[in-house]
Amino acid sequence: MRVVLDTNVLGSGLLSPHGRPGTVVDLVASGAHRVCLDGRILAEYRDVLARPRLALPPESVETVLAVLVRNGLRLAATPLRIKVPDPDDQPFLEVGVAANADYLITGNRKHFPEELCRGLAVVNPREFLEAIGD
């Protein structure tokens, strides 16, 4: 299954590995589901996860990103004419559409109005885990 993982879910999963976001991160890191990404998403992951307030060791961040790239699907997404409310979220929608992803997993569903998502299911970690029966 192809998924797009919003940065807030990745960060939450690394900070709370035993919660639902942590389970989602484990599933994509293991290769059970292919995370879809591009250079913009990787840059945002790297930028956000390096913030001092998260206190994540840089070597751990790079290891996680390397695993996601190795097990994921990296592609170049075509810019969409439609725009989501937060411009920082645009790459996640564009990659999801380009990859024909099954789910975009986010903690900010309101940033991805259904009418803009072209059939891409936008869910939170709980909904994703319920959908896959985990």
Structure tokens, 71: 């097990």
Domains held by the chain: number: 1
The stretches in the chain having pLDDT less than 70 are none
Task: Give residue 71's pLDDT.
Answer: 95
Task: Give residue 7's pLDDT.
Answer: 98
From the list 22, 6, 3, the residue with the least C-alpha distance to 14 is: 22
From the list 8, 45, 1, 2, the residue with the least C-alpha distance to 125 is: 8
CATH number at residue 124: 3.40.50.1010
From the list 128, 120, 129, 81, the residue with the least C-alpha distance to 101 is: 120
Report residue 21 CA to chain centroid gap. Answer: 11
User: Which range marks the domain in which residue 40 is found?
Assistant: 2-131
Whether the model pTM is above 0.85 = yes
CA dihedral 31, 70, 9, 122 (to 10 degrees): -70
